[in-house]
Amino acid sequence: MLVAGFPADAFGTNCYVVATAPGEQCVVVDPGIGVLDRLDALLAEHRLHPAAVLLTHGHLDHTFSVAPVCGARGITAYVHPDDRELLADPAKGLSMDLRQLFGGRLPYTEPEDVAELTDGATLALAGLEITVDHAPGHTGGSVLFRMPGAGSPWEAEQICLSGDVLFAGSIGRTDLPGGSMPAMVTSLREKILPLADDTVVLPGHGPATTIGRERTSNPYLVEAGGASPAAPTRGW
């Protein structure tokens, strides 16, 4: 199994590619701002052929390059329906300061082929079996992507691409349009905490971690049964 990625220059958003092996089809996860050249280089290095783009949520720092990546290859973008409107109008998910930062300088269109994700679905893409967990809180349509991790660099039983739901030591902010701290706490309790301790977490920002590490050290998971100790600040 091949799992590779890199942080975008803008906002450090992690873009990942996952495949069964070099030279095979792959899925691209969260192609953000300014990633096209580095993504093309990564695909060429491993001789990979994208079969689909998976979006953990609809924020622009995770979706900015989805249309060109899909359009150049005629492939489908997958997003939860609660965040689909952000593909065509990403300003709906931005805070006022971010709207002012980007203004009207970023032309944006929805990819030609978009498929909507459903909670609990299993996607068969590029030879992979990918389970979708709807985990709202950061946005209404945030999802986790889980898949078997045997043969991965970590030799884990399971890998979880968590987007901006869970980070090493923190969680995604919930104060942007579509965000909800009560929904986030429910997602942490019902979608994150039940995962096995050796599950490797590949977050939308920052380094990889494991569920076991976060279960004992992440204050938001420790407090998932009650009030959060502070307002999270990572991600958009």
Given a contact cutoff of 8 angstroms between Cβ atoms, the answer to whether 4 and 53 are in contact is no
**In the predicted model, is pLDDT for residue 150 greater than 90?**
no
Question: What is the average pLDDT across 24-45?
Answer: 97
Q: What is the pLDDT of residue 4?
A: 97
**In the predicted model, is pLDDT for residue 71 greater than 90?**
yes
pLDDT tens digits, one per residue of 97-140: 665 566 655 556 789 999 999 999 999 999 999 999 999 999 99
Encoding tokens for residue 132? Answer: 């979708």
pLDDT tens digits, one per residue of 177-224: 999 999 999 999 999 999 999 999 999 999 999 999 999 999 999 988
**In the predicted model, is pLDDT for residue 230 greater than 70?**
no
Average confidence score pLDDT of the chain = 91
Encoding tokens for residue 136? Answer: 């709202």
Whole-structure pTM value: 0.91
Phi, psi of 168 (to 5 degrees): -65, 110
Given a contact cutoff of 8 angstroms between Cβ atoms, the answer to whether 163 and 185 are in contact is no
**In the predicted model, is pLDDT for residue 231 greater than 90?**
no
Q: What is the pLDDT of residue 109?
A: 75
For the chain, what percent of residues have pLDDT higher than 70?
88
Q: What is the pLDDT of residue 227?
A: 41
Q: What is the pLDDT of residue 128?
A: 97
Encoding tokens for residue 107? Answer: 């032309």
Angle, helices 66-73 vs 36-46, to 10°: value is: 50
Rounded to an integer, what distance in angstroms lies between the CA atom of residue 236 and that of residue 86?
13
112 Cβ contact partners less than 8 Å away, ≥ 6 residues apart: 70, 71
